[in-house]
Amino acid sequence: MKTKAFAELTGVSVRTLQYYDEIDLLKPALVNEQGHRFYDAGSFSQMFVILSLKNMGMSLADIHQYVNQRDFNIQVFIEAEKRRAEAELVHLQLRLLRLSRLQEQLSDKQEIMPTLLPLFSQLANDTALTPAQMENLTKPSDRQLGFNLVEWREFIENLTFCWEHKLTIRDKKAMACVRYWKERVLDAHHIHEDQVTLAEHYYRDHPDQAFGMTAETYAYLMKLMRDDEDAK
């Protein structure tokens, strides 16, 4: 059988057959003087094995070892693939749970606040939310939420500067950070006390996803907030 017909029969492309030939995974049964490849029943049987193992997640390198009987332990492979499949299944289940929990909180007149949406990625993972906390992550959708990226970047830069220089609430720059956090974050988005605690954990555990905020600068900001309240 010529290459094109064999490709159509097995459901792979001609280029795939050429590649398998190049890597010595599936050699043609015959190559004539003109360089045309031909495949036979043995080729079909070997392709069936290759495709079956590939569908189970085996890499071409492992398949090459297996079909050529080069010290490849199929039992070890099966156990490893089972563990990988189980991990993927758990991940999908968590994803389904997170989406379901989000859906439960939404109605025609509700939406999740964009500033707190990343917290939902941790549901059923390392963040346990009470029903009250879940409720506080929603808001009426008749308000337009705005976010000024330039202002946020300036806030992060000022906050980091204040933290590094250990400025107190008496410093104007530190006070400006507190004012920004109160007016542009807490008050603007109706942040509940429970959500402040969640944010603290989030900034601590996920600094790469906190848009410049770190566990240290957040803790420092919270101290400034407490000092400001004590000073009143």
User: Can you tell me the mean pLDDT for 3-11?
Assistant: 93
Please say if the pLDDT value at position 145 is more than 50: no
- Residues 53, 46: Cα–Cα separation, whole Å: 11
Query: What pLDDT does residue 104 have?
Result: 66
User: Can you tell me the mean pLDDT for 138-145?
Assistant: 47
Helix (H, G, I), strand (E, B) or coil at 35: coil
Residue 192 pLDDT level (bands cut at 50, 70, 90): low
Query: What pLDDT does residue 71 have?
Result: 72
- Residues 40, 2: Cα–Cα separation, whole Å: 9
Q: What is the token pair recorded at 18?
A: 């050429």
Residue 32 pLDDT level (bands cut at 50, 70, 90): very high
pLDDT digits (tens, 9 = 90+) for 79-101: 888 888 888 887 787 777 767 76
Helix (H, G, I), strand (E, B) or coil at 174: helix
pLDDT digits (tens, 9 = 90+) for 172-191: 999 999 999 888 777 655 55
What's the pTM value of the predicted model, to 2 decimals? 0.42
User: Can you tell me the mean pLDDT for 2-19?
Assistant: 94
Please say if the pLDDT value at position 41 is more than 70: yes
Answer whether 134's CB lies under 8 Å from 101's CB.
Answer: yes
